[in-house]
Amino acid sequence: SSKARNTEIQNADDVAVLEDCTDYSLAKTISKIEEKLEKGDLPDCVDDDDDDIIPSAGNEIGAEAQIRFLKAKLRVMQEELDNVVCECRKKEDENENLKSQLKDTVEENTRLQRAISVQQSQTEKYRTLAQEANKKSEGLQQEVIALEKVLH
């Protein structure tokens, strides 16, 4: 009994607990747990005889240690879920900001297109006025030349 209890405590100490992890990564934690399972350091969470999560008393690890293991695994998964939810919220906020920027950009583009249209029509108007002024100037120059010939 004492030997089984010591094994249970030793194995429980090997469990990855979230508070002990400074550089947290679900993938790393799961791979470490899987490595320990392959080596036989941690229990299989499913009993082959029945689909009970807690193994029978005859296994090398006790139910209490297995519960600690499962709780630690649950904490790790909950932390990862919290991180994913936080990331999703950040992405949603970023999407909202980008949608707002897009709306502002579209409005600015529309305003600039109107301004360009007005400026193009003004440019065409001034081009027409300049052509008329050039024709009038040419006519007046020819008139001046004609008057100079009459005076000489």
Q: Are the CB atoms for 33 and 73 separated by under 8 Å?
A: yes
According to the model, what pLDDT value does residue 14 have? 47
| Burial environment of residue 121 by CB neighbours within 10 A (0 to 12, 13 to 18, 19 or more) | exposed
Burial class of 151 by CB neighbour count within 10 A (0 to 12, 13 to 18, 19+): exposed
pLDDT digits (tens, 9 = 90+) for 104-134: 999 999 999 999 999 999 999 999 999 999 9
With vertex at residue 123, the alpha carbon angle to CA 122 and CA 127, rounded to the nearest 5 degrees, is 115
What pLDDT is attached to residue 26? 63
Specify the higher pLDDT residue, 135 or 60. Answer: 135
User: Which tens digit of pLDDT belongs to each residue from 40-90?
Assistant: 664 444 444 444 444 444 456 788 888 889 999 999 999 999 999 999 999
Comparing 23 with 30, the larger pLDDT belongs to 30
Residues 83, 69: Cα–Cα separation, whole Å: 21
Q: Which residues lie closer than 8 Å to 7 by C-beta, 6 or more apart?
A: 60, 61, 62
